């Protein structure tokens, strides 16, 4: 097996163009498991770790551009205040060892429906920056990045450079159901992000369909229902209807981790809970005289 070790982004793109069947490896927490279990024998490995640009993040015109190789532990420590939903999701990924190595770039590359970074990326309207030596840069909305179970929109000669998202303009929450509290793949998961400036609610549903997805009808309903100006209390009926609409957005299956019925029920509960937390935070911001939008 060839082992390619470019040290710059341009060299990485050239290496991928020259050998499109080379498998990129960042943290290796998915790739090495597959190789160790002999599930995958790539012709070559393209080690992206020496490419320093991938491990950096920046603010460009007010938006965060986070390199595909920034590990979860740094997302939590360095960006937890600006991306609270993604930081919450990152805290639930694997163990400290996995969070030290694993990255959002790798989560996107693997594109598992159960990947924990996907719901907050979708709820936060993130875009994925990908590039190839031949065709340059493409920006793909997170909602369009996942194309099937463990499939994504990358072309064979493309690599993920970064994800772009706004620093949270309002409260964000992530919730995950597992068979235990740590080291667990999601039975299902849910993320909510309030966008007060746009009077919009963002959602992301994980592990309850072939791909992570938005709950569009739930977003539309709630965005119109919430008292953004007056910051009035959330009605029980609105929270219940939101939970129902999130549940209906899912198309889960029965598998070893849970039944489809259980997943639907759990999603409606997580949707109501995270909405209540987020809306209370938004209202508290008003009470404290803080600008929450
Ligand atoms: C014990 C254990 C527990 C885990 N727990 C969780 C969990 O709780 N939640 C969760 O979501 N995941 C979990 N995972 C899966 C894994 O840790 C995550 O998917 C992680 O985000 C992968 O990141 P990585 O950098 O290690 O990816 P890698 O293993 O390096 O790569 C993963 C995939 O992405 C591709 N890739 C990587 N970088 C790029 C790039 N820049 N451009 C194009 N393709 C790229 C690779 O080719 C590969 O297909 C767990 C794994 C293990 C072993």
pTM: 0.97
Q: Are strands 44-47 and 2-4 parallel, antiparallel or unpaired?
A: parallel
DSSP string for residues in 182-200: SS---SEEEEEEEEGGGTE
Ligand 1 pocket check: which of 47, 94, 157, 185 to mutate, most ligand atoms within 8 Å of Cβ?
94
> In angstroms, what is the span from residue 54 Cα to ligand 1's centroid?
15
Specify the ligand 1 atom closest to the Cα of 31: 29
User: Quick one: tokens of 206?
Assistant: 């994980």
> Domain 172-292: which CATH class?
alpha beta
Return the closest-CA partner of residue 15 out of 136, 110, 133, 161: 133
Specify the ligand 1 atom closest to the Cα of 72: 21
Ligand 1 pocket check: which of 30, 75, 95, 211 to mutate, most ligand atoms within 8 Å of Cβ?
30
- CA dihedral over 258, 262, 267, 272, signed as positive or negative: negative
| Residues 6, 46 contacting (CB under 8 angstroms) | yes
Domain regions of the chain by residue span? 2-110+126-165, 172-292
How many other β-carbons are positioned within 10 Å of the β-carbon of residue 249? 21
pLDDT of residue 288: 64
pLDDT of residue 293: 38
**pLDDT block averages, 10 residues each, the chain of length 293:** 96 98 98 94 96 98 98 98 98 97 98 98 98 98 98 98 98 96 93 98 97 98 98 97 98 94 98 98 78 41
The closest residue, in CA terms, to atom 53 on ligand 1 is: 29
Which residues have a Cβ under 8 Å from the Cβ of 134 and sit 6 or more positions away? Answer: 17, 157
- Report d(CA 192, CA 174) in Å as an integer: 7
**Into which CATH architecture does domain 2-110+126-165 fall?**
2-Layer Sandwich (3.30)
The CB of 106 under 6 Å from ligand 1? The reply is: yes
pLDDT of residue 40: 84
> In angstroms, what is the span from residue 262 Cα to ligand 1's centroid?
27
pLDDT of residue 182: 84
Q: Is 201 helix (H, G, I), strand (E, B) or coil?
A: strand
> In angstroms, what is the span from residue 32 Cα to ligand 1's centroid?
9
The CB of 51 under 6 Å from ligand 1? The reply is: no
């Amino acid at each position: 097996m060839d082992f390619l070790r470019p040290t710059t982004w341009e060299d990485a793109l050239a290496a991928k163009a020259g050998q499109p069947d080379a498998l990129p490896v960042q943290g290796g927490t998915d790739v090495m498991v597959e190789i160790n279990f002999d599930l995958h024998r790539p012709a070559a490995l393209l080690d992206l770790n020496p490419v320093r640009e991938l491990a950096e993040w920046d603010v460009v015109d007010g938006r965060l551009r986070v390199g595909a190789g920034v590990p979860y532990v740094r997302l939590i420590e360095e960006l937890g205040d600006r991306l609270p939903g993604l930081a919450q999701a990152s805290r639930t990924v694997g163990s400290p060892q996995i969070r030290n190595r694993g990255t959002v770039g790798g989560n996107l590359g693997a594109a598992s429906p159960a990947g924990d970074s996907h719901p907050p990326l979708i709820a936060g309207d993130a875009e994925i920056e990908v590039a190839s030596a031949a065709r340059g840069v493409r920006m793909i909305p997170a909602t369009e990045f996942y194309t099937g179970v463990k499939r994504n929109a990358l072309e064979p000669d493309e690599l993920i450079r970064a994800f772009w998202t706004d620093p949270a303009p309002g409260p964000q929450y992530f919730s995950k159901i597992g068979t235990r509290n740590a080291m667990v793949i999601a039975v299902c998961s849910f993320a909510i992000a309030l966008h007060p400036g746009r009077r919009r609610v963002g959602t992301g549903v994980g592990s309850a369909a072939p791909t992570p997805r938005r709950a569009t009808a739930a977003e539309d309903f709630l965005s119109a229902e919430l008292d953004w100006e007056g910051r009035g209390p959330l009605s029980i009926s609105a929270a219940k209807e939101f939970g129902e609409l999130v549940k209906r957005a899912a198309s889960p299956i029965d598998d070893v981790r849970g039944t489809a019925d259980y997943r639907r029920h759990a999603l409606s509960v997580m949707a109501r809970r995270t909405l209540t937390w987020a809306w209370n935070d938004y209202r508290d911001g008003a009470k404290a005289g803080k600008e929450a939008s």
